[in-house]
Amino acid sequence: MTVANKKVEAELLGRDQVAVEFVLGFDVQNSGAPQAMIVDVKLDSASTSGCSLFEDRLLEFCRQIRALSDADRVQLLNPDKSVGTHPPSVALESFYRGLDGKDHVSILLRELVLKLQNRFQLPYQEAELCHCRAVPTAVVDRAIVGGCHSTLSVARTTSAGTSCGTCKLDTELLIAYRLGAL
């Protein structure tokens, strides 16, 4: 088995930030195609900080990944390639339900998983989301991660969408992406 490391990071306004190093193993299966799986998960303590709730949830996140079966750790790393061959197990479904977007911790952990899978892509790519009020996309995104889960709460926090309103649809897309299921 060949081993490689992949470091993945997420941050919320500098107050909660996480860096996780996923140890990946690559093995050639009977079919001859390389099979990749997560071998281990390590927190980069120098790059990880936050409240005690955040740190406790990170430790639980790492423990849950280690507790998954080999097949689940393969599917977690390669979700598109595993579909149809093995349905997600009860343990993997439970792991995904824990990344439900109900709070900023689960949103950041969901971001880590999507980055690990090379699937993290915000649906709005321009630097400025609200042109009337000159509100950057990053400001709107951070408001969503921080708890603004409606266009009204985003508007109250950032002023995005309070003039002409054409950016409300883009705000809704960002909210749906951040809170969506894996």
How many C-beta neighbours within 10 Å does residue 58 have? 21
Are residue 14 and residue 60 in the same domain, yes or no?
yes
> In what order do the strands lie in the sheet containing 2-12?
2-12, 16-28, 34-43
| pLDDT at 132 > cutoff 90 | yes
| pLDDT at 87 > cutoff 60 | yes
Q: Which of 173, 179, 52 is nearest to 110 (CA)?
A: 179
CA angle 148, 13, 6 (to 5 degrees): 110
In this structure, is residue 9 part of a structural domain? yes
Structure tokens at 132: 């009337």
Residue 59 and residue 83 in contact, taking contact as beta carbons nearer than 8 Å: no
pLDDT category of residue 54 using cuts at 50, 70 and 90: confident
Structure tokens at 83: 């579909």
Number of residues that this document lists for the chain = 182
Are residue 87 and residue 140 in the same domain, yes or no?
no
In this structure, is residue 122 part of a structural domain? no
Number of compact structural domains in the chain? 2
pTM of the predicted structure, to 2 decimals = 0.86
Are residue 104 and residue 171 in the same domain, yes or no?
no
Percent of the residues in the chain that have a pLDDT greater than 70, as a whole number: 91
Give 3-state DSSP helix, strand, coil % of the chain, rounded to 5. Answer: 45, 20, 35
In this structure, is residue 10 part of a structural domain? yes
| pLDDT at 29 > cutoff 70 | no
